[in-house]
Every structure is written in C-alpha cells, then in structure tokens.
Amino acid sequence: MSVHIISAEQLTLQSIAIFLSGGVTVELSDSSKEKISKCRSYLDEKLKNSTQPIYGINTGFGSLYNRNISTNQLETLQENLVKSHACGTGPEVPQEIVRLMLLLKIQSLSYGYSGVQLGTVQRLADMLNQNVLPRVFEMGSLGASGDLAPLAHLTLPLLNEGEVFFNGEPVASAIVSERLGWPRLHLAAKEGLALLNGTQFMSAYGVWICHHAQRLLHLASRIGALSLDTFDGRPDPFEDDVHAIRPHNGQRRIAASIREMLQGSELITQPKKHVQDPYSFRCIPQVHGASADAIDYATNVFLIEINSVTDNPNVFPDEDKIVSAGNFHGQPLALALDFIAIALSELGSISERRTYQLISGLRDLPAYLVANPGINSGLMIPQYTAASLVSQNKQLCSPASVDSIVSSNGQEDHVSMGANAATKAFRIVQNAYSILAIELITACQALTFRRPLRTSVVLEEFVHNFRQEVPFIEDDRVLHKDIQNAETFLKSPKALHNA
C-alpha cells in the first residue's frame, strides 16, 4: 500500500496511472492543512464582521443570488444545496471514475481558496482510503456552474444521505458511517457550494481517457506494425527523410516507433511485388501521428485542470477578497474531450481498414484467414463487428461542446456540455479497445500463414504473449470469447512489455 501526499506538488499522468492501479491511499500534507484552515478562518472572520452580500455564502444560488440568507440559516442553506442538486439519472458512473472524482475534489480543495473546513476535506480523504465510494450517475451536469448533480451525489454521504459502495455492495451511507464511527458533518457557510462547484466529474473522466488514450496510441502503432508486416507491406513510407520534410511531431514520432518495432523482421526486408500499399498501412504515421498530437493537446489541458481550483466564489485570504467568477466553466475540457474523441475514433477507423485488407484474400493470404474456407467462415464476421463499432464512434464524435441550453432562469445562459462530451469519449475508448482487439486477432492469424518467416523480436514476443490468451483459429469457433480475451490482454501489462 503506497501513500499519495496531497500537496502543492502537481498531479501527473504517471501519478494518476499509479492511483488507478489500486492500493494507494491519500494523506493531506501539513502545508495543505494549513492553507485549508487559514482560508476557513479568514472566511469566518469576514462573515462575522461584515453584512455585505457574498454570492452563495449568505445569498441564494443561481438566479436566486439576490436573496439574502440570515446567519442562523447558513448551514441549512448549504445542506439544502447538496440535497436539492442530487438529481442525477442514467447509468451509474464506474467506481474507478468515482475514486478519481474524490481524489480530484480533495486536490482542488487543498489549495486553500475554497473556504471549506479541514474536517470536510479529511472526510473525503477517509472515504477514498476506506474505499467508500458514493453512487454517482452519468446524467445531470451541463458542464458549467460545476458538475452540480454528479458532485452532489459524490458529497451526499458527508450528510449521511445517499448510498455508497462499501466492500463492493451498495449500502445506505448512514449505515457505513455508523459502522466506521464517522459522525455526520455539518456544513459551514460556503462549503456546499465549494463541494458542488467544480469540474471533477469532467476532469475524472478526462484524465482517465487521457491515460487510456496514451495506451491505445502505443497499442495501435504496435498492432499496426504487425499488420503491415503480415500484409507484406513496404518499409519505405516510414523512412525519416519522408517525415523530416513534413515534421509534425506526432507523425515523425510514430514513423520512428514503427521503424524500431520492425527492426530485424524477415518479412519487412523480403522483396516486394507491389510498389505501394493502401493508405491504412502507408499512412500510419500521418493518421496515428495526428491522433498523437491531439491526445497530447488534450492531456495538457487536463493536467492543468486537475491541478487547479475550479469552484466559485474564490477566497483569497492574503489579498482580503472574495471573487465570484467562472472557473467552474468546462469549455476548455469540453473542447479537449471532443478533440480526443475524434483522435481515438480515427485510430479505430484506420485499424478496421487494416483488418478488412488482411481478410480480403490479397497478397497470398487466404480469404478470411482460414485454411478451409466455405465450411469455415474464419474472420469474416469480426470485421463486421469492428465496422459496427467504428460507425458508432462516428456518431459519438458529434461535438457536445458546440451545444448550450439556458438554465437557472437565464443566469446560467451558456454552458459547455462537457459532461456529455466526457461520457461519449469514455464509450469511444471502450470501442477502440474492441476494434484493436479484432485487428490483433486478425494480424496474428495472418502471421501464421507467413511462416516460416518471422517478424521482429519485439513483435514475435508480443504475438507469443497474446497466443497464451487467444490461440490460432484452426476451425470456426465462438469468437466472442476470443475478442473479450484479446481486450483483456490489451489492457494488461503484457501488451506493452518492451514498449
């Protein structure tokens, strides 16, 4: 069990990957505790010595900002906010995303600009460490004014409301709190707003997607290199001279990685009968490379976001000011999510085309990569499945970030719809794994028909590891399980060994 210290040190994609692997607890640093307490003390003093209306602290919310709230009702105001906003619907958010939401909410509150009580942040950390994961639902956030509904469900357990997963089972949060000896928290002024305002739903999905996008990019290039070799493709389009005269970073990087992966292959160096390959092989650097650049852009956006303060209003103790602004607006995330969705969709699109070429009976490969066609259909129908997934990805790539619906009686008149962008991109990630799994099955099947020639040492090891999970298809069998096993393999450490 390792410990992640919540501090001013920035979260990285590497630290997120470690966190996602499990077995990580969090602990607030002394400096974080000091910042949180200092901001809360400042806010308490401000409320004690001033009658000036401060949005969401002693006023109503949204279009009710002009309603002043008396001092003896401030706790009720915050608790009513959490309860009234917990109106999510749709599928449940996966638990690994909920864990990320908790981590990112703790990180954002720890900077000391939100005015929360130290005990509130500590309880969120306790929930994370004890694997008490609130039931959160996909639908309900407009991606501006914060991810209000999902974050309300995330924080309901602080009030002994809602349900949580504990030991893998859904349980009323009040029961779990009693079992763990956790008293019900009482939210002070501004706390409900700090908990609900923020982009942690979009950010959790986004950083998870970025983590997997980097992985999918490596896998797509590794599988693409294997497909190129088994298709008897040419190495010329990957020469550095070609890419030096059009030096997009991603394009040049992918070309170099393909050259490296094919080093030592007997297949790639044998004489070629054809002078050109189809685009899905010849243009791997250009297509994968463009996706690589888009993934890098999106990753940078989310790394900035997960190390930021995104609630409202922002409390600045040292400057003696409280500012109502719009850091909760998800437009940067919505645009990045739409962009990375397109990038991942294209990795799937070109993958399916390579699968199609490999089963087409070209270049001395048997049709559908089966030894006895007719009685056996071989790999005919997995390509259909890949085509179906590619088509759905195209539909999911319709941008969410260009949409907006007026809410809160016109006060919140432009929203990002970044939450919808996040859940769409999440589905594209899942589809991309399935599409690449089908290409891998196909490329490995094709390699058998090229024997005794061998591909590179790196790719032979890759195929060997894969064959422990999915054996050669001699005669027709139920391929659903093969595709599932291939997906599991692609998500395992073995798939990127020596990457």
- What is the value of pTM for the model shown? 0.95
Domain ranges of the chain: 2-198, 205-496
Q: Is the peptide bond before 53 cis (omega within 30 degrees of 0)?
A: no
**What's the chain's Rg over C-alpha atoms?**
26
- Determine the pLDDT at residue 106: 97
55 catalytic? Reply is yes
- Residue 249 tokens read as 């970073």
- Determine the pLDDT at residue 61: 58
From 42, 55, 111, 368, the catalytic residue: 55
Q: What is the pLDDT tens value at each position of the chain, 499 positions in all?
A: 688 889 888 999 999 999 988 889 999 999 999 999 999 999 999 888 777 776 667 765 555 555 666 667 777 888 998 999 999 999 999 999 999 999 999 999 999 999 999 999 999 999 999 999 999 999 999 999 889 999 999 999 999 999 999 988 999 999 999 999 999 999 998 899 999 999 999 999 999 999 999 999 999 999 999 999 999 999 999 999 999 999 999 999 999 999 999 999 999 999 999 999 999 999 999 999 999 999 999 999 999 999 999 999 999 999 999 999 999 999 999 999 999 999 999 999 999 999 999 999 999 999 999 988 778 999 999 999 999 999 999 999 999 999 988 888 777 889 999 999 999 999 999 999 999 999 999 999 999 999 999 999 999 999 999 999 999 999 999 999 999 999 999 999 999 987 7
CATH class of domain segment(s) 2-198: mainly alpha
Contacts of 375 (CB under 8 A, 6+ apart): none
Which own/partner contact pairs does 41-44 have at CB distance under 8 Å and 24+ positions apart? 41/317, 42/115, 42/315, 42/317, 42/320, 43/115, 43/189, 43/190, 43/315, 43/322, 44/188
Beta strands in 237-387 (DSSP E): 314-316, 321-323
Q: Measured between alpha carbons, how far is 371 from 476 in angstroms, rounded to an integer?
A: 11
CATH class of domain segment(s) 205-496: mainly alpha
Residue 321: burial class (beta carbons within 10 Å; 0-12, 13-18, 19+): exposed
CB burial string 45-60: b at 16+ within 10 A, e below: ebbeeeeeebbbbbbe
- Are 343 and 295 contacting, i.e. CB atoms less than 8 angstroms apart? yes
- Determine the pLDDT at residue 48: 83
Q: Measured between alpha carbons, how far is 38 from 378 in angstroms, rounded to an integer?
A: 67
Contacts of 476 (CB under 8 A, 6+ apart): 370, 376, 377, 378
Q: Do domains 2-198 and 205-496 have the same CATH topology?
A: no
- Determine the pLDDT at residue 498: 76
